[in-house]
Chain A
């Protein structure tokens, strides 16, 4: 089978089992060349494992995948010369300086000594790490560490870059810097597969998004498709008093003739509804019943709501308990 050249990733039924646990459980994935694909899921969903499979770091227990048409199980070297991985945790030699790390990567990519130095200097400057070039990476801040880590991955611009939770733990400024870097990479034609737990990040960067939970992809599409799949309009309400909630649910369900969901916190409610007149009506009924509302919005659902609807309440709880254990 000759693969269509415009696919960066075509994965079919990927499975990875750790002991008895199916960490990745039949993942199908297609990523078009030159796009950003967002991989969204709670803790333990299988995001990192999927990336490690696709980056030739793990052997799948089932299924197959092609990277730029090259078979994952047979053409590892071909694939490795096209991809790059920035792992979830910094994969840099912390005892070396930023400069030394990048020169080393340049040499390992095949540059001569002078070219590797020049390239390292250029990247440090572009990533705003010039002043830190001669400092050991262990003295870097979280944001600087992330940037040097990404810089090390693109010493030679890869055709496909895997970014595993690139902005976790960064302040908004550092996060924006990383986003700028990702956008610049895409501008130069690199395909990016990024995992994230932040819906805003997927919304901002990704052309297409897959939601993964318990090793399975449960939804896939553009961010507007995902939002539409949940409903076109969403009413979100926050009550002042938690004890009003049962009454509020009754009133809203009555006025809107739609299901009203109680959110995990004790005062929030959401409902899928398109008719703005009904919404206005329902709100005035709440006012007549003296149920105070501290916040409300009506519009297209946020990705957060999509995420919660798709993964379900249990997934969120499970992820939390899992985090507690590890």
Chain B
């Protein structure tokens, strides 16, 4: 009797299997927008399942802001409150610039786990895989910005540019970070191990963020260092963000940020896509 039931169950499951295989007809490949949104959804689902990955955009900004305000505030500017007005925009730029490197690490993980191969055999517009997750990263960067500015406000940060100025500043940071991420995707595609990737990212980011005008006024520096600080893209961004928040930004400063962003994207986005398609 049980044998009979088992037999029937087996037949039923075979039938389901056959039906499920026969019943799929091929839809038209998705549009670029649809596949980008699907990859963005994937990134959001990953945040839902692995909330620890929000650590960098929530805890980092808080620690950085408190640390630098109270550590250097008294020493460099004489008073923490005064220094905060100068420091917060720069710290914000530095923090977000540093978190962009996780984009490359995520991509690197995808490659080593093999899901990358699956995406590459799909009939989709391939850059959507990258842009989708970059879009979610932009959301993460906005979170980091809001958290930091809110905390800064509690500590006495008073942006003279008002809400509009602050929003404009955040917009500049997001555009810049999106463009900067393409450098990390290139690294993520070239470098084999996650450890090496971390090291390279730090080696690029540390000098770039510290040898900038984030912490100190470059006029206090020796002239050879000053000229590096002046052309450092992080300084260019920090100047514009500081200006926007305090209502003193010039059109030229904004345009300079946009030019730097366009250049980074124009160089590194195509390289990323090329490597993505032709990765061994």
Contact = CB atoms under 8 A, between A and B. Distances in A.
A85 interface: yes
A83 B49 contact: no
A147 to B, nearest CB: 11
Contact of B18 (A52, A59, A97, A187): A187
A160 to B, nearest CB: 11
13 contacts: A58-B280, A89-B114, A95-B49, A107-B34, A107-B38, A107-B41, A123-B20, A154-B24, A155-B24, A157-B21, A157-B24, A187-B18, A188-B22
B124 to A, nearest CB: 6
Contacts of A43: none
A96 B44 CA distance: 10
Interface in B113-141: 113-124
B41 A104 contact: yes
Interface residues on A, range: 35 or more
Interface string B145-173: 00000000000000000000000000000
Interface in B16-73: 16-30, 34-35, 38, 41-42, 45-46, 49-50
Contacts of B217: none
Given A59-B278, A95-B50, A108 B45 contact: no
A152 B118 contact: yes
Given A52-B117, A57-B121, A81-B123, 4 more contacts: A85-B118, A100-B42, A104-B42, A115-B27
B122 A126 contact: no
3 A-B pairs with the lowest CB-CB distances in the bound complex, closest first: A126-B20, A110-B27, A91-B114
A187 B29 CA distance: 25
Interface residues on B, range: 35 or more
Interface string B1-26: 00000000000011011111111111
Contacts of B124: 108
A256 B242 CA distance: 95
A125 B19 CA distance: 11
A57 B123 CA distance: 13
Interface in B76-127: 113-124
A304 interface: no
Nearest to B112: A89
Interface of A: 52, 55-59, 77, 80-81, 83-85, 87, 89-97, 100, 104, 107-111, 115, 119, 122-123, 125-128, 136, 152-157, 180-181, 184-185, 187-188, 190
Given A91-B113, A156-B27, A77 B17 contact: no
A52 B38 CA distance: 25
B11 to A, nearest CB: 12
Contacts of A156: 24-27
A59 B25 CA distance: 30
Contact of A110 (B16, B28, B50): B28
A207 to B, nearest CB: 18
A119 B23 CA distance: 9
B21 A154 contact: yes
Contact of B121 (A83, A110, A136, A184): A83
Nearest to B20: A126
Nearest to B15: A126
Contact of A108 (B24, B25, B30, B117): B30
A180 B30 CA distance: 31
A126 B114 CA distance: 25
